Structure 1
Amino acid sequence: MRPLPDGRGLRVGVALSPALLLLPLLLLLLLLLPPPPPLLGRLWAAGTPAPAPGARQDSALGVGRVKRGWVWNQFFVVEEYTGTEPLYVGKIHSDSDEGDGAIKYTISGEGAGTIFLIDELTGDIHAMERLDREQKTFYTLRAQARDRATNRLLEPESEFIIKVQDINDSEPRFLHGPYIGSVAELSPTGTSVMQVMASDADDPTYGSSARLVYSVLDGEHHFTVDPKTGVIRTAVPDLDRESQERYEVVIQATDMAGQLGGLSGSTTVTIVVTDVNDNPPRFPQTVSPTEMYQFSIQESAPIGTAVGRVKAEDSDVGENTDMTYHLKEESGSGGHVFKVTTDSDTQEAIIVVQKSLDFESQPVHTVVLEALNKFVDPRFADLGTFRDQAIVRVAVTDVDEPPEFRPPSGLLEVQEDAQVGSLVGVVTARDPDAANRPVRYAIDRDSDLDQIFDIDADTGAIVTGKGLDRETAGWHNITVLAMEADNHAQLSRASLRIRILDVNDNPPELATPYEAAVCEDAKPGQLIQTISVVDRDEPQGGHRFYFRLVPEAPSNPHFSLLDIQVLVLLILTLRRHHKSHLSSEEDEDMRDNVIKYNDEGGGEQDTEAYDMSALRSLYDFGELKGGDGGGGGGPGGGPGGGSGSPPPSRLPSERHSLPQGPPSPEPDFSVFRDFISRKVALADGDLSVPPYDAFQTYAFEGADSPAGSLSSLHSGSSGSEQDFAYLSSWGPRFRPLAALYAGHRADDEAQAS
């Protein structure tokens, strides 16, 4: 084709015959235009126009001027071409082509040489294969014009596009199936269930091949679908899971906006109706007397025994079937004989014994069992009460029971001086069964090993089998057995506590052993010993005791008794007749245990607290040698010892005794005052030694004092001689005392010399 004289470049030529008819007119119009500046030759392409006028084109592919002489357009090729000849796509041409075959046309790029072939002489391009827009929408190629002789590139290489034109050859597809949705039963009309979406592989930018609409093919009575969005909604308000739990709904998607000739695809949507608590529990058996629940149980069944199981049916599922049970016992049943629990796994009511059963007192129990839902949805409260009731009849069967004690335990009393065979009490037991069999009694000997009690096997009378002593055993616990006369295996037990009542059968006894001692110069009325007594009989500590001397006591008038109900006072009336000092030669015959002596201090073992010479008697000491310990012989002593007191015939005649008889309400203690005054006077008159057998003092100077203890009961000196030289070592505070005793010692030594 020759270059145009106006030099304006590429012109589009349409390869279809109607377009070629317009070519002369276009050339005429170009001649009328002003000539442009001279240019080099142009390469232009002529191809098929877009089949659908008004369809959106890519601006980059519009007609326009390109580098140098290239003027070209995009080519369109219809997909899915089924013809036998290669499909003509378009033509490329250079303005410098004189038609003499000197120019060689070539293409390169996607599909060049395989899918697309070009005629080297004419520049015609043909599609050699069947194209599918859904696999590839366009191809990009490059065109070249070369000198055939020199293979020199005559025009700059440029790109062009072959676009595969879409046809409606793909039906809509649901790619995300299977679809499963759910909706609660009794949901209002229009409740959204789920959304489905289909896709179309056709070109959505060209025509209506990819414009889809949705519709319901099957299930339209219960569900609808939005034609544009694919949202599925309920069409009725009364979906009931108990009637139909699952729906299969077929949804169809059609392209071409649903017009005739459009392609369609479908999918099945499974819609599950979920449960709500819209059904109350129901007992399969009604509350009529002929269809009540009936159970039986033995009267000996222990507490906690299951009587039976009852289950109320609920058409709902899951937690909507959870229920609780309650028992409403009828009047006359005794109340709360049974209780009910719920099996969490099976939702059954378990009726359990809560109190002991007794066939004889009530052979039949009738209760009302109520079942109610644990969770109630307030939205469905208008459907009715979510509870139901049933009557349960429990028959108690009789069993052979052991005898029953009335009461099962008790307290009996008997005097401790009761004779063997005396009646203690009577126990009673009876057979609770309707047969009322005779009962026999016995004592469990494990509880009465000594067989202190016996029982009459027929009457239950308990008698003493041995003598009783409250002081030995004040209480006895025994177990009495009761059994059927012809069936000893039916046995019951009763515990009895038997209290032994006290009688005054024990004399008073000394609380502890007593051993009294007294000085020989004790004045009448001096307290020698306080004696306490006890009595093993009742009441403990509540007895009133009376005291008197034994019958042989009046022959010894030296002692008198002062009865103050709980004390015994022994008064010594012996006096000394002579106060002359005993000869020193008899000192070596004395022993410390001649007389038991208490100086109101350390006791008889405290030999350092007193001088034994102070105990010398004014009467003949040889007659007391037998004394306390039984020494050697001598008058009145006897070989091997004698009694602890001198013979009455050798005692001085000056004796006094307190009058005997009933005690005075207010005792006269003047004798004690006289005794104390006399001892004080003796101590004041005897300056040689500390005052023995008198009130003593004790003082502790402290651990750092050289004196240490100043007790008159314990001294650093020992023996019969008193040496007070140690007083001078006690420091300045005791210097006057040391000088005083040192002066007396000097006087004694002067008299002795």
Structure 2
Amino acid sequence: MAHTVSRSFGIWRGLRIVTLLSLVRWESGCWGMTLNSVALHPASSRLHRAEAGAVPHRHKRNWVWNQFFVLEEYTGDEPLYVGKLHSDVDKGEGRVKYVLNGEGATSIFTIDENTGDIHATKRLDREEQAYYTLRAQARDRATNLPVEPESEFVIKVQDINDNEPKFPDGPYQAYVPEMSPVGIVRTALPNMDREARDQYLLVIQAKDMGGQMGGLSGTTSVTVTLTDVNDNPPRFSRKSYQFAVPESLPVASVVAKIKALDSDVGANAEMEYRIIEGDGLGVFRVEPDADTQEGVITLQKNLDYETKSTYTLKIEASNRNIDPRFRAQGPFSDTAMVKLVVENVDEPPVFSSPLSRMTVSEAAKVGTTIGTVSALDPDSTNSPIRYSIDRNTDLERFFNIDAATGIISTAKALDREVNAVHNITILAIESLDPSQVGKGIALITVMDVNDNAPVFAIEYETFVCEAAEPGQVIETISAVDKDEPPSGHRFFFSLTAEAAGNLNFTLRDNKDNTASVLTKRGGFQRRDQAMYRLPVLIVDSGSPALSSTNTLSIRVCDCDSDGSPQACGTEAFLLSAGLSTGALVAILACILTLMVLVLLIVTVRKRKKEPLILDEDRDVRENIVRYDDEGGGEEDTEAFDMVALRNLNVARDSKARRDVTPEVPTLYCSRPPPYKITPDNGIFRDFIWDRLKNADVDPSAPPYDSLQTYAFEGSGSVAESLSSLESLSTDSEQSYDYLSDWGPRFKKLADLYGHSDSSNIFSS
């Protein structure tokens, strides 16, 4: 607190000194010159001057003030005292108040309106703002009117040493070529080697105040990196290498990799490899790998263990970029010997020719020899070879091959027109090792023979106009032949012997594989004959020559003036009856529509499995099987199945299955049957009804219509035999009158299900 008071006192004393100097300058003739425009004139002074006239008088200054100074970075708890403002008008009676405006007023600087004391309420930083310009004014407390004019003053922030030196661009990077001599860059050691140490870290300190006590300091780092120069040659880690190479390795495969080491980096470590000596110059080659700088040895020719089993290469590795400053140190290259040992591999048989071309006539008989293929085992074992045909390439088995000799022969008749070329794969299999299989191709071309007769090229639609003149060309015909003779086709056209003497048409061979059909007369009438058929004989030039007779249909038409047909053949008669072409089309459309509807109805009924003929008794379904064996007594029940005899008119017991609701409620009502049930068939009737009742109440039966088996033995067999065939013997006294009632029904069912002989329905 004592420090603050003494500091403020020093500032006040300074102000008094500056004020006295200003007054001296004013008295020496500097009229109107005042310090910072703060000299104020009271009203009494102005009146006195007016009364005295224009004679100037010296006026006392009313403000006691000066520039204020305040130290930056004040860290005390109380506001920092800056200085004091005072006006002579203020007599200490409390009638004057002081007001402060300008930069930082109220936010940074405050003034006691009673005493004029100025304080700083915030810590100041000269590096941010060095001074503040403010305005002060004294006002009457009662009227708030100024008693002094407003004046400006400055508060300057005094600097203290609170900022250490800083390196604006740090940390720094520096690059120095290795082996640099002292002078280019100031280094502490001569001949620094990057391969020994490639980077150095330096820490630099800067102090202010000339390094005196109390000064601040700042540091930065400088990383010095030694850049590489090509001062190291490549070196192989070994002088000789050996690798094994399978003889089956394909061309362009990688055989081995070797690498020379270079302590340099980047472009200075890039390598070049080459074979300078050895017996594998044309078989192998070596190239550098751009990423790993390895020497990659690749195969250029196929290997054969039986021919040569070892190769020796002398390979040189050298730097691609050599620094001339270090060339005198010696050669920047190194060499190593590489031995390549060829390994024997069990190889499959090899055909003497991978593609064998053969020809065979399509008329060749089965068993005709076509050609021979040959393959050998390339290994030293020289295993015997067996031949076979890959049947995936000869699915129809047209050819056979002798397993021992490789002779290929025909196994079926050939047809060039179906398949002119057969491309089959021949397999050569080692007898000692069947897993070794070689493959060859046999391309068999089938030679053509003249086995196809010529025919019309197209299906001609020929017509002749009723108004045609004799000798008029009505059609030009041509022919085709499936055969392909070497010299091309030559066809000859003529009418057959039967048609040569007709009076209607004739044929002219144009000698260019075409022929013209001409009329021999005029006056054709479609009413008399609507269609003519002209047999044409076509002969080819093969050996032997083949021929065929082709019939040309010629319609008689009513033509317009340009010769275009208007009405032809039978259509003329319909037109003459008054039916137009549109009417004919409509009739045909109706017929087609009816046919489609009938087809749809039939298709739907087939899908629903409904008979086309509806019958009121269609609910009665049976499966009747006829057989002529003796039977096996009780085993007869397994011999056939009979669908439950079911008719809506037959009385049933009202007791039904509990798990099924009858679709027709009246199905089980008791009512007399509409047909006569004689006492003779009572046993059969009871038997059927009992079986139906059991099926209806069976809880294990499915809830839908099902087939039931009924094996009725009957009673009263004279022969006392269990066979159902014996029960139908004519010698039995058993009555079968019940068949008189059931017979017509079974006949109807038999007709419905396609049984032609209904008399044998109960032959079993």
TM-score under structure 2 length normalisation? 0.41
The structure with more radius of gyration: 1
